Amino acid sequence: MNVRVLRIELRRSVAPWAGAVALATALAFLYLLSGPWWKGATLWTTQWTSMALWTRFLLVFLWPLAMALGALQGLRDHRSRISELLTSTPRPARHRAATTAGAMAITLTAAFTLLVLLGAVQVIGAGYTHLGWLPISLVGGLALVAGAFLGMGLARELPSPLTPPALAVAAFVFLNLLRVTTDMGVPTATAPTRLALLSPVVDEVRDVFLTLSGAVHLGQTVWLLGMAVTGFALLTAATRRARLLALVPVLAGAAIAALLLPADPRRTYVVDEAAAAQVCDGPVCVATAHQDRLPGLADPGRKALRLLRGALGGEAPTSVRESTAPRKIFDPPERSRTSVLVDFDDSVFADAKGEELTRALLAQGMTPLCSARSAGESGTLAEIAAQSVAAGWVLGDLEPFTGALHGADDQLREARPVWTELKALPWSEQVARVKRAHTAAVSCEGDPLDVLDGGTSR
């Protein structure tokens, strides 16, 4: 490819605008809208895998946009009415196509790379550094280029002003029909799993420990390479036979991808075992992905365990560890009789420090949650009220939890009558009720607040 010609192409074609529009659209989406990418433990600026997956999520509109911009570029010769003139020149069609496609590939790749670098600059201080995120981003960049190439090729064969918007709409519908969601614990889609994985878009990031499997990366790479080759071949095709042969790469890519992509939904999004591995300071453990939180959790965790041992005796948990088990949204969280389980997607834990964190850990050990709290789940008012009563009973004062979706006034209004009645009982009855509430919470059989109130608060 002639560098001088490529520079001219970059100055005079749609390619620079394509990269600028793609980058500006992505940044506007991320920074002007308040979405889940700014909430909970899966912020796009806190973990490498989350950052890569959120940038891949943006392909839901960047990919149709790239295809439409590619189609606009593919219409250039037709709009200028110089197609016949170009075919009469001695320069091979593939050289002209390589220059046009190369310019588009450079600008779109640069735009996506800048987006990833922007996230990387903010994530670079994360305690857990790895390269597992790189294939996620590489496939995302390849998807943009392949979409643009296919758009250019199709526009050359269907030279109509309606081609770019029609391709954008068709691509958007394609992506949404093949959408895979992780909300149900096991990845689900309306289409068969292998067909759904032909979409380069990923679901919203809900679990920091989930990542795409190697089989998904490999299958999608083959499929997208086939798509890119077909787009380029259509851009150079001059005969009916050449146009038919141009379809071979994308069909072959789809066939090979079908063999490589997993048919079992559980093998699409998998737990990153390295990220979920526990790192411990004595009895207090967190996942490797959150190892930077361990120094702030260790002392409050040990203090909470001492208080639990004094309150519950032999029934008390003996360790604090981060919960890493995947679950369906609104399903009960993981529970344990021997450990206080921490979820940093719960803002009661994520935002707490010092004595406030000790109180939150103590409450979780006394009456573990049966209704999850996360960026997308509020938990129940009754459970957080029961936790405030149980923790207050150990510490001697009733206080609401900050960071919860239920306000402090609502928590106190629910908890204070139960607290007042509990404190008025003989000591032995107080201990008995607290232990029964702990048992009810651990087993998720019964309402801990009801138990603390003697069964009369509901």
CA dist 233 → 94, 97, 142, 213, 357 (Å): 8, 9, 17, 31, 61
Same domain flag for 230 and 324: no
Half-sphere exposure of 422 (CA within 13 A, CB side): 33
Q: What is the 3-state secondary structure (H, E, C) of the chain?
A: CCHHHHHHHHHHCCHHHHHHHHHHHHHHHHHHCCCHHHCHHHCCCCCHHHHHHHHHHCHHHHHHHHHHHHHHHHCHHHHHCCHHHHHCCCCCHHHHHHHHHHHHHHHHHHHHHHHHHHHHHHHCCCCCCCCCCHHHHHHHHHHHHHHHHHHHHHHHHCCCCCHHHHHHHHHHHHHHHCCEECCCCCCEECCCHHHHCCCCCCCCCCCCCEEECHHHHHHHHHHHHHHHHHHHHHHHCCCHHHHHHHHHHHHHHHHHHHHHCCCCHHHCEEECHHHHCEEEECCEEEEHHHHHHHHHHHHHHHHHHHHHHHHHHHHCCCEEEECCCCCCCCCCCCCCCCEEEECCCCHHHHCCCHHHHHHHHHHHHHCCCCCCEECCEECCHHHHHHHHHHHHHHHCCCCCCCCCCCCHHHHHHHHHHHHHHHHHCCHHHHHHHHHHHHHHHHHCCCCHHHHHCCCCCC
Same domain, 130 and 30: yes
Residues 68 and 107 in one domain: yes
Domain contains 458: no
Please indicate, yes or no, if residue 13 is contained in any of the structural domains: yes
> Is residue 457, in this structure, part of any structural domain at all?
no
As a whole number of angstroms, the distance between CA 105 and CA 149 comes to: 8
* Exposure string over 146-155, b if 16+ CB within 10 A, otherwise e: bbbbbbbbbb
Is residue 110 domain-shared with residue 249, that is, in the same domain?
A: yes
With 50 as the cut, is the pLDDT of residue 188 above it?
Answer: yes
Q: Which of 228, 251, 272 is the last residue of a domain?
A: 272
**pLDDT(81) > 70:** no
Query: What's the pLDDT at 294?
Result: 94
pLDDT of residue 347: 86
Residue 457 predicted with pLDDT over 50: no
Mean pLDDT of 99-125: 92
Give a yes or no: residue 398 inside a domain: yes
The answer to the question of residue 392 being in a domain is yes
pLDDT computed for residue 139 by the predictor: 98
Q: Please give the residue that has the higher pLDDT: either 79 or 455.
A: 455
Indicate whether 149 and 53 sit together in one domain. yes
Residue 55 lies in a domain: yes
Residues 181, 243, single domain; the answer is yes
Considering the domain architecture, whether residues 174 and 146 belong to the same structural domain is answered as yes
Are 267 and 282 contained in the same domain?
A: no
pLDDT of residue 86: 46
Q: Is residue 198 part of a domain?
A: yes
Residue 272, pLDDT above cutoff 80: yes
| Whole-angstrom distance, CA of residue 448 vs CA of residue 383 | 7
Q: Report the chain's mean pLDDT, rounded to a whole number.
A: 89
pLDDT reading at 383 higher than 90: yes
Residues 344, 352, 443, 382: what is their CA dihedral angle, to the nearest 10 degrees? -120
Number of domains in the chain: 2
Provide, rounded to the nearest whole percent, the portion of the chain with pLDDT above 90: 66
Q: What are the pLDDT digits (tens) for 55-79?
A: 999 999 999 999 999 999 988 765 5
Residue 83 pLDDT > 70 = no
106 and 190 both lie in a single domain? yes
Last residue of a domain, one of 249, 272, 295: 272
Residue 127 domain flag: yes
Residue 119: pLDDT over 50: yes
Residues 248 and 333 in one domain: no
Percent of the chain with pLDDT over 70: 93
Say if strands 210-212 and 269-271 run parallel, antiparallel, or are unpaired. antiparallel
- Domain C-terminal end among 248, 272, 296: 272
Q: What pLDDT, on a 0 to 100 scale, did the predictor assign at position 213?
A: 95
Q: pLDDT: is 213 or 403 the higher one?
A: 213
The Cα 353–Cα 403 span in angstroms is 12
Surface-to-core class of residue 196, CB atoms within 10 Å of its CB (0-12 exposed, 13-18 middle, 19+ buried): buried
Residues in Cβ contact with 162 at an 8 Å cutoff, skipping those fewer than 6 apart: none
pLDDT (mean) for 148-161: 92
Query: Each residue of 219-244: pLDDT tens digit?
Result: 999 999 999 999 999 998 888 899 99
Q: Does residue 424 have a pLDDT over 80?
A: yes
Of 6-20, 30-44, 407-421, the poorest mean pLDDT is in 6-20
Provide the token pair at 60. Answer: 């839901």
Same-domain pairing of 237 and 295? no
Average pLDDT over residues 244-261: 96
Q: Are residues 93 and 225 in the same domain?
A: yes
Residue type, 234: L
Parent domain of 203? 3-272
Residue 2 confidence (pLDDT): 64
